[in-house]
């Protein structure tokens, strides 16, 4: 039953493991870097911008919040802030486009991509790629206020959908970009910061649904110049492009992995959103001067998306750019990836009053400050793992994050399954094997382990699973969040995999399904509440 896809995945796993061993033991770098890519000479890297208003004026004009106003907002308590501004809610729906993808194939493909992503995230920390943009600004003595004067009230509605129909494990969000606004589907990713879209001219682009974004069709597109302080927020191509003229465009390079990267022009654009007013009416509102990447060279397994919407902690992310409007928190509630396409998930910017009233809302602290060497990722500190009411004998130091960025645990919307470092994963897997009784164990099933034949079983009885954090918080998962059923084989598999010791652990979106997840950066905490997201 090992298909061609399965063989490919197994080879990918072998290469993934070898990559870590080789880089750790022999100093071999198997990851491509910008210096290994030859970028064709194209006009956007050397021409004079057509805008006469490029530069800091985009973020310090009278249409923006002043620094004093921003400081005043930041100093307010969350309850006071919630009274003054309503949260905005995005609907995240599933797509139905006539495609059918078997759960098994979707899981295998997502797992292969996950493994590449984990290696990428680790390398980005170790090699400090796409990191420390704030420190670069401080080093250069530059100060940039990332804010926007734009008052909204009511609920902001958009669409976010599962990528299962594309063989992807991510969730997609529908956005409208430019003037006049045009529709694009972007991958939602809490593990990265840069917002970017495939742009005309596309010199090297992956296949997407619908046309590429064309800056010439938008009257609100403005290039950021290479002399603008905002240009320091992005990593430049390697070697850096010389800044020859005052209005030359700002080139960027954002690295995700060997086959995933984007290069193009850093720019400003208007993002339109569908606002539902308190009266229930729908109207289009615009958020101006959103920083984003106009990508002319884009590679990777993005499965039909037009680009990516970053929700990381860094200053470039969509959530960070909206902080002056909605405060320092956002949340989402993801429905089951394989649920009916008409069922929507939710993404909310600002504090959701209903969530804060949830009787089963729990919080754990985010690892911050010196303990977190990467400004992008949301780290949590695991203390122990519980399987079948038994606290597993995993040394607490197994979960620690080193000052160099090795280890630790992040919560990530862009990774499908959950991944725990060795030897913790082996202990978890062994605990399930010892505790699952009555179902035949499948020995040679590819990728996922353990797997069981549950043919004819109506009510599955499987051990409980939970995570205890260092501050005492406990996250207990329903069985459908850590065991995945693969039809039509009537097989259930543990939806957890392992990574080498040098990598990080990740709580992926499969384990986050039907939990309302709250990211509160002001109070440096992660909230989670069991919720039937289809009804939220």
Question: What CATH code is assigned to 103-137+150-535?
Answer: 2.40.70.10
State the pTM of this model: 0.76
More confident of the two residues 524 and 324: 524
Tens-place pLDDT, residues 11-63: 333 333 333 333 333 232 333 333 333 334 444 443 333 333 333 333 333 23
Q: Is 412 a catalytic residue?
A: yes
Residue 190 — φ and ψ, nearest 5°? -80, 0
The active-site residue, picked from 189, 228, 265, 352, is 189
Tens-place pLDDT, residues 65-79: 333 333 333 344 434
Q: Is 74 a catalytic residue?
A: no
Task: Compute the distance between CA of residue 474 and CA of residue 472 in angstroms, rounded to an integer.
Answer: 6
Is residue 426 reached through a cis peptide bond, with omega within 30 degrees of 0 on the bond before it?
no
Task: Compute the distance between CA of residue 482 and CA of residue 473 in angstroms, rounded to an integer.
Answer: 19
The active-site residue, picked from 174, 265, 352, 412, is 412
Domain spans of the chain, in order of start: 103-137+150-535
Give the least confident one: 49-58, 241-250, 377-386, 515-524: 49-58
Residue 113, pLDDT > 70, answer: no
Tens-place pLDDT, residues 473-494: 999 999 999 999 887 678 999 9
Q: Are 383 and 409 in contact (CB under 8 A)?
A: no
Nearest Cα to 311, choosing from 471, 450, 509? 509
């Amino acid at each position: 039953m090992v298909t061609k896809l399965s063989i490919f995945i197994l080879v990918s796993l072998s290469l993934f493991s070898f990559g870590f061993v080789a880089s750790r033991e022999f100093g071999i770098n198997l990851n491509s870097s910008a210096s290994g890519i030859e970028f064709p000479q194209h006009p956007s890297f050397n021409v004079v911008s057509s805008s006469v208003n490029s530069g800091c004026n985009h973020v310090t004009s009278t249409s923006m919040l002043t620094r004093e106003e921003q400081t005043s907002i930041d100093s307010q308590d969350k309850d006071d802030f919630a009274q003054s501004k309503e949260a905005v809610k995005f609907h995240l729906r599933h797509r139905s486009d006539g495609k059918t993808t078997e759960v098994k194939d979707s899981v295998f493909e997502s797992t292969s991509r996950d493994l590449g992503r984990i290696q990428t995230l680790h390398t980005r920390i170790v090699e400090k790629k796409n990191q420390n943009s704030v420190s670069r600004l401080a080093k250069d003595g530059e100060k940039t206020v990332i804010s926007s004067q734009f008052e909204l009230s009511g609920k902001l509605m958009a669409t976010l959908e599962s990528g299962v129909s594309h063989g992807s494990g991510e969730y997609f969000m529908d956005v409208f970009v430019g003037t006049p606004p045009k529709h694009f589907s972007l991958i939602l990713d809490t593990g990265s910061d840069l917002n970017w879209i495939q742009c005309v001219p596309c010199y090297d682009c992956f296949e997407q649904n619908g046309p590429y974004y064309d800056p010439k069709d938008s009257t609100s597109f403005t290039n950021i110049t290479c002399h603008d302080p905002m240009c320091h927020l992005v990593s430049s191509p390697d070697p850096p492009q010389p800044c020859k003229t005052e209005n030359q465009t700002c080139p960027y390079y954002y690295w995700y992995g060997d086959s995933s990267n984007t290069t193009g022009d850093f720019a400003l654009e208007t993002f339109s959103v569908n606002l539902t007013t308190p009266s229930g009416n729908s109207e289009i509102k615009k958020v101006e001067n959103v920083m984003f990447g106009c990508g002319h060279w884009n590679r990777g397994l993005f499965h039909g998306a037009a680009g990516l919407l970053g929700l990381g902690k860094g200053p470039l992310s969509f959530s960070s750019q909206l902080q002056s409007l909605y405060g320092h928190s956002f949340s989402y509630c993801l429905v089951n990836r394989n649920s009916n396409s008409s069922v929507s998930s939710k993404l909310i910017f600002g504090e959701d009053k209903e969530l804060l009233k949830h009787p089963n809302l729990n919080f754990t602290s985010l690892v911050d400050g010196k303990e977190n060497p990467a400004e992008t990722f949301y780290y949590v500190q695991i203390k122990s793992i519980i399987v079948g009411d038994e606290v597993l004998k995993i040394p607490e130091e197994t979960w620690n994050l080193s000052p160099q960025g090795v280890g630790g645990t992040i919560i990530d919307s862009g990774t499908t399954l959950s991944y725990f470092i060795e030897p913790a994963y082996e202990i978890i897997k062994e605990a399930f094997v010892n505790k699952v009784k009555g179902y035949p164990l499948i020995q040679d099933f590819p990728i996922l382990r353990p797997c069981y034949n549950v043919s004819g079983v109506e009510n599955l009885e499987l051990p409980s699973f939970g995570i205890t954090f260092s501050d005492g918080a406990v996250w207990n998962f329903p069985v459908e969040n850590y065991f995945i059923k693969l039809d039509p084989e009537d097989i259930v598999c543990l939806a957890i995999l392992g990574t080498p010791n040098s990598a990080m652990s990740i709580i992926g979106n499969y384990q986050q399904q039907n939990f309302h997840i709250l990211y509160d950066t002001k109070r440096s905490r992660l909230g989670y509440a069991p919720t039937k997201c289809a009804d939220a």
